[in-house]
Amino acid sequence: MNILVCIKQVPDSNKVEVDPVTGVLKRNGVESKMNPYDLYAIETALRIREELGGTIYALTMGPGQAAVVIKEAFAMGVDKGILISDRKFGGADVLATSYTISQGIKSIGDIDLILCGKQTTDGDTAQVGPEVSEWLNIPSVSNVSKIVEINEDSVVVEMDMTDDIEVTKLQFPCLLTVDKDIFMPRLPSYVKKQATKDREITVISLAELEDKDEQHYGLNGSPTQVQRIFPPEVNAHREMFKGSEEELTGQLFTKLQELKFV
């Protein structure tokens, strides 16, 4: 079984500042880490390999330094690493990102199962996984909280729908995005880290992709136009109401009317 896990490098803090002039995130000097949900996806892949055997690929799209998260994946037990990286991919929105990742996956070939995290802690859209599956024309299920049954041909999963749990069966090839309840991720092993420190990572640039049309990638391939990025203003305004229960109710109702909530 060939399993591919999509992993993303994200800032190690939710306190990333925005340049007030350019509106661009100030990533310089900010420590990075693997998106936490992707650790659950890697753990899921490792458990499946323990049961069925096979090869696990970790794939990330990002600048050269994103290779660090692939090295971490190696130290957890992943077999092969793919870095999709090219200046032409810069400024990609979710559509262009998912397209680029799907092109990268196509160039690797025979993948039975693609695993993604449920969402990232920076972009947070939870759209990349389902969009990759659309580009590849394979079925997908999001928010997978349990693998019920798996064999060489198919997988039965529980999908957490907040109020309900839905059970569904998918034939391979397919894509799952996994929730944090699925398995507790193992820590990277020092022994594996040492053993894999020189392991090569395959770098895929635009030249290696089937679709080489620059218009489909990066800023060119991104229909989203960000008008402005800004940190939300801190509103320290407070109002105190005093009086009896009845008076307070009246004051609160008047305030809600003023604010057009009622």
Ligand X SMILES: Cc1cc2nc3c(=O)[nH]c(=O)nc-3n(C[C@H](O)[C@H](O)[C@H](O)COP(=O)(O)OP(=O)(O)OC[C@H]3O[C@@H](n4cnc5c(N)ncnc54)[C@H](O)[C@@H]3O)c2cc1C
* Least separation in angstroms between CB 121 and ligand X: 8
Could you give the C-alpha distances from 236 to 114, 179, 254, in angstroms and in order? 45, 35, 21
Q: What are φ and ψ of residue 5, in 5° steps? A: -110, 125
* Least separation in angstroms between CB 229 and ligand X: 10
* Least separation in angstroms between CB 223 and ligand X: 9
Of 151 and 224, CB closest to ligand X: 224
226 touches ligand X by CB under 6 A: yes
Contacts of 157 (CB under 8 A, 6+ apart): 141, 144, 146, 147, 148, 167, 168, 169, 170, 176
Cβ-proximal residue to ligand X, closest one: 123
61 touches ligand X by CB under 6 A: yes
Q: What amino acid occupies position 73?
A: A
- Pick the stretch among 84-92, 105-113, 206-214, 227-235 that binds ligand X (CB under 6 A): 84-92
* Secondary-structure breakdown of the chain: helix, strand, coil percentages, each rounded to the nearest 5: 30, 25, 45
Task: Fill in the per-residue mask, 242 to 261: x = in contact with ligand X (CB under 6 A), - = not in contact.
Answer: --------------------
Q: Can you list the positions of beta strands (E) in 52-124?
A: 55-61, 80-84, 113-117
CA gap 81, 100 in Å, rounded = 16
Of 25 and 150, CB closest to ligand X: 25
Q: What are φ and ψ of residue 84, in 5° steps? A: -95, 110
Of 54 and 63, CB closest to ligand X: 63
Contacts of 127 (CB under 8 A, 6+ apart): 94, 98
- Pick the stretch among 54-62, 73-81, 106-114, 160-168 that binds ligand X (CB under 6 A): 54-62
Task: Fill in the per-residue mask, 93 to 132: x = in contact with ligand X (CB under 6 A), - = not in contact.
Answer: xx--x---x--------------xx-xx-xxxxxxxx---
157 touches ligand X by CB under 6 A: no
| Residues near ligand X (CB under 6 A), total | 33
* Least separation in angstroms between CB 246 and ligand X: 48
8 touches ligand X by CB under 6 A: yes
Of 47 and 251, CB closest to ligand X: 47
Q: Can you list the positions of beta strands (E) in the chain?
A: 2-6, 9-11, 32-34, 55-61, 80-84, 113-117, 140-150, 154-160, 165-171, 174-178, 201-204
Query: Structure tokens of 155?
Result: 């997988």
Could you give the C-alpha distances from 211 to 167, 182, 214, 215, in angstroms and in order? 36, 35, 9, 10
224 touches ligand X by CB under 6 A: yes
Q: Which residues bind ligand X (CB under 6 A)?
A: 6-8, 35, 37-38, 41, 59-62, 90-94, 97, 101, 116-117, 119-120, 122-129, 222, 224, 226
